[in-house]
Amino acid sequence: MSDISIKNAQRFLGFADTYDTARPQMPLYPISVIENYLGKMPYLVIDLGCGTGLSTLVWQNNCNKIIGIEPSDDMINVAKTKQTSGVEFVKAYSHETGLSDSIADVVICSQSFHWMEPKQTLREVNRILAPNGIFATVDCDWPPISHWEVEQSYKKLFNKVSIIENENKELQDNHFKWDKNKHLLNIVSCGYFRYTREIV
């Protein structure tokens, strides 16, 4: 297990309840796009980096079974309280899920792929995806659309956060995020997929 994977999982310790209360759920639109490309309702969906299960539960009634994968102890413990028939949560890393080969119609990362080492994760995605399966990573524009002054204040605040993180070695060393702007490039260059595109 890489130090970065462990640090990224530990970054969320103590935040699971706040995350679960404040984090928006994934919208239904990506599900309809994925089903359109797949040509059917998926039987099994794997949600990598599922957090507290918010992005997992939106798949209920849109597949037969969904498995949320999450390495953070705090996050998975909250997610497991939501486990119901057809919804399962497993503590594991995105590059070592422990799942069988070729089982998933869909593997998805909702606002989580930037916390995962892309090469190892995409290798694991390729291993667990069934033939003709779909991998999707879903991200949103941030901050949410509200009022320009609020958005401007948010950007100023997070510029200050970036400065503090860049000046503080301890903060720099406690996590690592991969650039979201390179998600598509990483997916294309891995060579596992017949077709790739970005939808905005």
pTM given for the model:
0.88
Strand order in the sheet with 65-70: 87-91, 65-70, 44-48, 104-110, 129-138
Residue 1 in this model has a pLDDT that exceeds 70:
no
Residue 73 in this model has a pLDDT that exceeds 80:
yes
Residue 176 in this model has a pLDDT that exceeds 90:
no
- DSSP state at residue 137: E
Scan for tokens 């539960």, then name that residue: 57
Of 198, 10, 4, residue with least CA distance to 120: 4
Give the DSSP per-residue string, 43-54: SEEEEET-TTTH
Count CB-CB contacts under 10 A for residue 129: 21
Alpha-carbon span 59 to 73, nearest angstrom: 22
The stretch 46-73 carries a mean pLDDT of: 96
Residue 80 in this model has a pLDDT that exceeds 80:
yes
Record: fold of 3-145+178-190 = Rossmann fold (3.40.50)
Query: How do residues 95-136 score in pLDDT, each as one tens digit?
Result: 999 999 999 999 999 999 999 999 999 999 999 999 999 999
Query: 12 falls in which pLDDT band (50, 70, 90)?
Result: low
Residue 144 in this model has a pLDDT that exceeds 90:
no
Question: What percent of the chain is modeled with pLDDT above 90?
Answer: 70
